[in-house]
Amino acid sequence: MAEDKKPAPAAGGRAQTKKELPEHFKAYKHVWVAVEIEHGQVHPVSFELLGEGRKLADKRGVELAAVVMGDDRESLEAAARAAFEYGADCAYLACDPALKHYRNEAATRVLTDIVNTYKPEILLLGATNLGRDLAGSVATTLQTGLTADCTELAIDEEGSLAATRPTFGGSLLCTIFTLNFRPQMATVRPRVLAMPEREEGRQGRIVEVTPGLVEDDIVTKVLDFIADRDSDQAQLPYADIVVAGGLGLGSVENFQLVKDLAEVLGAEYGGSRPLVQKGWITSDRQIGQTGKTIRPKLYIAAGISGAIQHRVGVEGADVIVAINTDPDAPIFAFAHLGIVADAVTLLPALTAAFAARLRVNRLAS
Amino acid sequence: MHIVVCIKQVPDSAQIRVHPVTNTIMRQGVPTIINPYDLFALEEALRLKDKFGATVTVLTMGPPTAADSLRKTLTFGADRAVLLTDRYFAGSDTLATSYALSMALGKIAEEFGKPEIIFTGKQTIDGDTAQVGPGIAKRLGYNQLTYIARISEVDLDAATIRVERRAEGGVQDLVSSFPVLITMLEASNEMRRGTIENALGAARAEVVTWNAEAVGIEDLTKCGLRGSPTIVKKVFAPTARAEKAEIVEAEGGVDAKAAALVEAIFAKAPGIEGDLLELAGEHYV
Ligand SMILES: Cc1cc2nc3c(=O)[nH]c(=O)nc-3n(C[C@H](O)[C@H](O)[C@H](O)COP(=O)(O)OP(=O)(O)OC[C@H]3O[C@@H](n4cnc5c(N)ncnc54)[C@H](O)[C@@H]3O)c2cc1C
Ligand SMILES: Nc1ncnc2c1ncn2[C@@H]1O[C@H](COP(=O)(O)O)[C@@H](O)[C@H]1O
């Protein structure tokens, strides 16, 4: 694992310094985002990546392109138009019946072909199940570097992609480069990057590619797709308000207090990792490095210490409110508002105070 | 059926501490464990063994001390342990790791029979990339099934496997023919306890140990730091936020505190009150 390496020694090793790129990599230009489409829907992480990709492309003075793959021309064209409005100059459109459902083999073949033909210098994907599944195969096929789950992307003085991600179980961050191979690949989780402004009517050009897939060559067959009912899966990453609890609540019964507050606020609820391990909450409600990254307008954390692995998942919140009995808890170092109090008694009072306040406002308006 | 499970021995990162001054990892005394995600893969392999009869080989690439983790898997019921170890592998990123492991898997196929199924964990807790599994699958030409929540059917005669795969927004019901590489989702099963009998066997068992040469790696530039396209240039601690949290204080009881906190929240996030009315208001009319 790259992440196992000690802080890099002084440059000198073969891969450690940027050399003149081999001749066959010199044609690699432009920044690409592989747009994630399932069942006609574009995953918002793709727009977040286009926003970031736009900045990287401008810094490099190159174009930003989107790759849209699927079986339904209409939704692909809609996705391409959306990509233009979020900053893409160009969209590679691959339409093939075999791309109806996401399948690794088909998607890998199509994406690697497009990369080999049109040669991007940077290729970004969402760090979703789909994106990670695809990125790993594509990077191996192309024999290039891939940095997973980045929290920050930048271009360094030499024009290389600097991809920063947590390492050592999240206690530190590291910046990873793919200096001598192309494309430079990275995945970023939903909500780590801000959603860019959409520029209605912004145009781009579509480049048709012909995947020419043969269904019989694809080993995986999709028998069925069972869509989650809305209530099945927490919608944490895109919630405007999130209330979460930690071990400080003391018991699963007390966790109900978090749910009560969430309900009054119309918020999603979640928790720290130990709660998942204890079975107080399901894993789709875990917030943090190995759970969900959230970016709400308001995040209320009750009885959560604020370990670094939790912190990296909530730092994008506009306002973080911490309730903790320990005035020295690490969470106070990155919360915006804090109160030193017993969450078990404060939460019900807070729920009541919000309810009262909302009732008054509601009547007034 | 022959099943291989790839496991990694990792530092128990819950116990890793960062030196407050030098920002380096203090590895001394940090115990190692089997990557927790790999236990779901191992358990699933053992369940297939119980149900259909299979030989389960466990493979790891790591330092000689990784033999401890391998032995541990034998106590759970794995049949054979293979350790791939060589100083040339030091500093491998995922591309170099999957290369070395795929070579070892080739050798395993040669010596012990070609595996129908290779399992890996969803990801490691130290590397945390989820890339090694897909890397191995691609190199060996195995069909890749990631984020598998359940194996619903195995048809040995038809040589097919049916699985439930966690996708965005739903579950895919998939069928594939062998050979396949499966990465198991966490919490997809519960690890069994080892038996005393297995434990006794494990202590005596020989761990098959191979180096780069033994698995037929001739081009050492594909290994370790040299075979890794990614380069870690900088390791650093996250910076603290410039301002500390504003601490809300209020005289009186808990209700006074709650009221003060609500005021403070609305002051910090002026937009939120309107949003709240829209989101939650209807409950209170
Ligand atoms: C590889 C790895 C990945 C991880 N990923 C994640 C992740 O994604 N998400 C995550 O959350 N964690 C993650 N962790 C775990 C993380 O390191 C912490 O252990 C965890 O976040 C701590 O949870 P906690 O704050 O609920 O519990 P604790 O650390 O035990 O904190 C409890 C807090 O509650 C306070 N408290 C006690 N009683 C009360 C009371 N009555 N009222 C108010 N406050 C009270 C205490 O002062 C304390 O600050 C990960 C760890 C590792 C090693
Ligand atoms: N050194 C290794 N030896 C054996 N298996 C590994 C090794 N590194 C990673 N794996 C496997 O690949 C999976 C994904 O690892 P990673 O890509 O590091 O997140 C792990 O859960 C293991 O099953």
Domains and CATH numbers, chain B: 2-227 (3.40.50.620), 241-285 (no CATH)
pLDDT (tens digit per residue) in A172-209: 889 999 999 999 999 999 999 999 999 999 999 999 99
Mean pLDDT computed over A1-7: 42
C-alpha radius of gyration, chain B, whole number: 25
Q: What residues in A contact B13, CB-CB < 8 Å?
A: 168-171
pLDDT digits (tens, 9 = 90+) for B234-247: 888 877 667 788 99
C-alpha A134 to ligand 1 mean position (Å): 32
- Contact B193/A at CB under 8 A: no
- Ligand in nearest proximity to the CA of A281: 1
Per-residue pLDDT, B23? 63
Given this model, what pLDDT does residue A131 score?
Answer: 97
Query: What per-residue confidence (pLDDT) applies to A363?
Result: 66
User: How large is the average pLDDT for residues A129-139?
Assistant: 97
Closest ligand, as measured to the CA of A310: 1
CA A1 to chain centre: 21
In tens, the pLDDT along A76-85 reads 999 999 999 9
- CB-based contact, B251 to chain A, within 8 Å: no
The pLDDT of A275-280, averaged and rounded, is 92
Q: Give the per-residue pLDDT at B280.
A: 53
Q: Answer yes or no: is pLDDT of A120 > 70.
A: yes
Average pLDDT over residues B50-64: 97
Nearest CB to B170 within list A143, A225, A289: A225
Residue closest by Cα to atom 32 of ligand 1 = A248
The pair of structure tokens assigned to B108 is 């395993």
How far is residue A119's CA from residue B62's CA, in Å, rounded to a whole number? 35
User: Nearest CA to A247 among A283, A279, A271?
Assistant: A271
B137 touching A, CB under 8 A? yes
**Predicted confidence band at A241 (pLDDT cuts at 50, 70, 90)?**
very high
| Chain A residues close to B268, C-beta within 8 Å | 319, 336-337
pLDDT at B234: 87
pLDDT in tens, B199-253: 888 888 899 999 999 999 999 999 999 999 999 988 888 776 677 889 999 888 9
Answer yes or no: is pLDDT of A3 > 60: no
Euclidean distance between CA atoms B264 and B247, whole angstroms:
10
> How do residues A27-65 score in pLDDT, each as one tens digit?
999 999 999 998 888 999 999 999 999 999 999 999 999
Q: What is the mean pLDDT of residues B68-75?
A: 96
B190 chain-A contacts, CB cut-off 8 A? none
Residue B46: strand, helix, or coil:
helix
Predicted confidence band of residue A284 (pLDDT cuts 50, 70, 90):
confident
Secondary structure (3-state) at B18: strand
Which pTM does this prediction carry? 0.89
Give mean pLDDT, residues B59-64.
Answer: 96
**Which has the minimum average pLDDT: A6-10, A232-236, B135-139?**
A6-10
Look at A7 and B273 and tell me if their CB atoms are within 8 Å. Answer: no
CB contact under 8 A, B176 and A172: no
Tell me, what's the pLDDT at A5? Answer: 41
Q: B82 in helix, strand or coil? A: strand
**CB spacing of B16 vs A169 below 8 angstroms:** yes
Residue nearest to atom 7 of ligand 2 (CA): B8
CA distance A279 to chain B (A): 11
- Let me know: does A273 contact A290? Beta carbons within 8 Å: yes
Percent of residues, chain B, with pLDDT higher than 90:
69
SS (H, E, C) chain A: CHHHCCCCCCCCCCCCCCCCCCHHHCCCCCEEEECCEECCEECHHHHHHHHHHHHHHHHHCCCEEEEEEECCHHHHHHHHHHHHHCCCCEEEEEECHHHCCCCHHHHHHHHHHHHHHHCCCEEEEECCHHHHHHHHHHHHHHCCCEEEEECEEEECCCCCEEEEEEEHHHCEEEEEEECCCCCEEEEECCCCCCCCCCCCCCCCEEEEECCCCCHHHCCCEEEEEEECCCCCCCCHHHCCEEEEECHHHCCHHHHHHHHHHHHHHCCEEEECHHHHHHCCCCHHHEECCCCECCCCCEEEEECCCCCHHHHHHHCCCCEEEEEECCCCCHHHHCCCEEEECCHHHHHHHHHHHHHHHHHHHHHHC
Question: By the 8 A CB rule, do B58 and B82 touch?
Answer: yes
Q: Give yes or no for residue B277 having a pLDDT over 60.
A: yes
